[in-house]
Structure 1
Amino acid sequence: MRFGNKVAVITGAGSGIGAAVAKRLAKEGAKVVLVGRTKQKLDRVSNEIVKENGLSYVYPTDVTDDQAVNQLKDYIQSEFGQLDILVNNAGSSGKSSIRDLTSEEWQRVQDVNLKSVFLVSKTLSELMLEGLKRDRSIVNVASLSGHKAGARIPHYSASKAAVINFSKALAAELAPHVRVNSVSPGFIETPLTEAGLQNERFQSAIEQHTALGRVGKPDEIANIITFLSSSEASYMTGSDVLADGGWLIT
């Protein structure tokens, strides 16, 4: 198993990409700590992992809150004494023209999509720098929208572009001890995209514009994150992996 005796923290682990990553890492031997706001969702994912003989720990919290993230660090330190993999996946979206976008909505998206990445990375990387030398990895989930901005999502596009650049800056600072990369998914079937994809016209437009002709699956992004988290990606840091089904080449 690639991740035997390793500890992984996944934020936004209650559904979508985060849940898929947690299941995959656990299947390959990692002890996975599921982090998110809603305990019920985390419990559901954890139960699925346990049924497959995986090791799963549920930790509901708010990753935009300084004190809460410090408490998460203390929990990991006392429970495991190490941290090898961090996947910052917590995210939020919403649509609004710039004329209608409120300061409160702008800040909410920045807090969930960007502040949480900064705060969790800053706090938990202290654990990753401790102890014996081993392969340690942070993977931040950005978005296609961080490469190509879209109308009515200025707050989301801005936050995800910042995640990409923050990941590069963090990679430079934590090298050579911790590798840091980001992944930029295109349109993926997750709770964040569910409402839009229920519109057949919208889904058809996405499929026509995507070179591969379809919407992506959470497991496909989990495959990439699993690779980046493993020693197979030992010479990768400061990279952003665009997984958009060929959206930008059409």
Structure 2
Amino acid sequence: MNFQDRVAFITGAGSKRGIGRETAKQLAYRGATVILADIDFEGVKEAAEEINAQNGKASPVQLDVTNRAQVSSVVQEIVGKFGKIDILVNNAGITRPTRVLEIPEEEWDLIFRVNVKSIYYLTQEVLPHMKRQHYGRIVNLGSVSGKRGGGVFGGSHYSAAKAAVAGFTKAVAREMAPFGITCNAVAPGLIGTDITGGMLTEEVKKEIIKGVPVGRIGTVTDVAYTIAFLASEQAGYITGEEIDINGGMHID
């Protein structure tokens, strides 16, 4: 895969052990200019410095993906500086392990704002630029929780939000296919990231692995490689798909 001359915009890229940061690395090391966005500016600044130190091309931006005005401003800034956005990876997301009877309305709304509404904001802001150049790759982060109705650490609101991401992905794919734009999603199972790290004790890990046929917890690289492929020119005939990355934990 060669991303030379491609401009990629990745949200939620500040976490040290996160999917967003690893995806940025995989794209940058294959030639892309990557813009890393996160509400945690120090995180994306550190990630960009790491990529640039390895002869990559990376720029950090601070972004609250739930703020429409900020999203619009950042997209305009990127297009103004680099002339285009070829790849959008909607990776920013949060989860809460709250049981359905205990979910307060504020938490429900927060989960949907970060995991779903932000994708609507970003996609709607970026699409006009992709349409103009008749090329684009959008990859959204779903989850096994959205397919099987819950996971290890996600509540029913998280499952509902990730199911919504899948539906949005398919609809956008149908609408945008005539313009050379693909829209796909990946649905990771349990991945060893900073989000799950604090809850993933050795005892819990052993219990989870019993239900994973390949016999291990997933890595951020497992997910980032798949995102990179879907973001490549070679994946131009794949759209509207949700790719499972779960080691066989859930097969449909």
TM-score, scaled relative to structure 1:
0.96
- 2:62 alignment counterpart: 60
* Greater Cα shift, 220-229 or 146-155: 146-155
What number of residue pairs does the alignment pair up?
Answer: 247
Aligned residue identity for 2:117: K
**How many Å separate the matches in 1 of 2:232 and 2:26?**
12
- 1:61-83 Cα distance to aligned partner (Å, 9 max, x none): 11111111110121012101111
2:13 is aligned to 13
Q: CA deviation at 1:249?
A: 4.5
Matches within 5 A, 1:13-162: 13-15=13-15, 16-131=18-133, 133-134=134-135, 136-150=136-150, 153-162=155-164
76-85 or 18-27, which deviates more:
76-85
Which ranges of structure 1 fall in alignment gaps of 5 or more residues? none
Q: Report the secondary structure of 1:192's partner residue.
A: helix
The correspondence for 1:179, drawn from 161, 178, 182, is 182
In 1: Cα distance, 2:27 partner to 2:121 partner:
23
1:53 aligns to what SS in structure 2?
Answer: coil
Q: Runs (4+) of structure 1 moved beyond 6 Å? A: none
Which residue number in structure 1 is paired with residue 239 of structure 2?
237
Amino acid at match of 2:76: D
Cα shift at 1:98: 1.6
Displacement after TM superposition at 1:150 (Å): 2.0
1:107-143 CA-to-partner distances (Å, cap 9, x unmatched) read 1111110011111011111111113x44x20000100
Q: Deviations over 1:8-54 (max 9, x none)?
A: 00000112000000001000110000011011100111111011100
TM-score by structure 2 length? 0.95
Instruction: Report sequence identity in percent.
Output: 38
| Structure-1 separation of matches of 2:178 and 2:10 | 22
Superposed CA offset, 1:204-234 (max 9, x none): 1111100111100001100000000001111
User: Cα RMSD between the aligned structures?
Assistant: 1.4
Rounded to whole Å, the distance in 2 between the matches of 1:167 and 1:73 is 20
Distance 2:85 2:251 in 1: 38
Distance 1:235 1:146 in 2: 25
* Matched residue type, 1:93: T
